[in-house]
Amino acid sequence: MKKLGIFACVTLAFGAAIIAWAGASSKAANTPAPTPMVSVTTLPALPSPGAPTAHPVSPAPGGYTPPPAGGPTLAPAMPPAGTFILINGAVANPMYVTLDQLQKMRPTSITQKMSGHGILTVTGVPLAAVLDLAHPTVTGGTSNSPSAIAIVSGVQSETAAVAFPEFEKAFDGKVVLLAYLINGKPAKPGMATLIVQGDQTGGRYVEGVTHIQILQPTPSP
């Protein structure tokens, strides 16, 4: 009888363990699996390969350089005053001329006496040769124009007029220079001085030439 009681107790304990295990398994099966945490970081957009970059463009000596294709249209950068000569007006190719360009052209030297300046020995480039770089559109060009005029201005606001017939061989044939050397020294102020052969006074002695405008006078009606 005692053994029967012990057996019953063991059976009840085993049954309780079975029920507890089954409940735990059922609870575990109904519990959803944990959701993994994901951290998302947005990276900055990378530039497309080969994307064009706009760069400021300065005019090349001797003419205007267009901006890169697809880039903005920029105004030409102006070199410092006195370091270039702007040629415009009645020309096909408005342009800047630099001292370096003048010095690479064929030089001409003359000596003359000028009131207020004494005896000058000057070296430079004939005005006609410089104007030819801009391709004047006046009748007869720089060799046979009877009426075209060059208005020459300097850094100190001096202005002088040079008629084309003065330097054309078909007319007076004077030597008119943009001189960069005066008595062996660099012309100052600026980079070149206007010298007109035969002028006895300094009325057209324009120092630091900055601008030459070519005009074609219109005949009176």
The angle formed by the CA atoms of residues 143, 170 and 204, to the nearest 5 degrees, is: 75
- Whether 178 and 127 have beta carbons less than 8 Å apart is answered as yes
CATH number at residue 117: 3.90.420.10
- Tally of structural domains, the chain: 1
Q: Quick check: is 24 in a domain?
A: no
List, for residues 88-120, the tens digit of each pLDDT value: 999 999 999 999 999 999 999 999 999 999 999
pLDDT at 44 over 90: no
Q: Does residue 27 lie in a domain region?
A: no
Average pLDDT rounded to a whole number, residues 129-137 = 96
- Greater confidence, 169 or 63? 169
In a domain, 198, yes or no: yes
pLDDT of residue 50: 39
- pLDDT tens, 85-94? 999 999 999 9
SS3 30: helix
Domain of 103, in residue numbers: 84-215
* 115 lies in some domain: yes
Integer-rounded Cα radius of gyration of the chain? 45
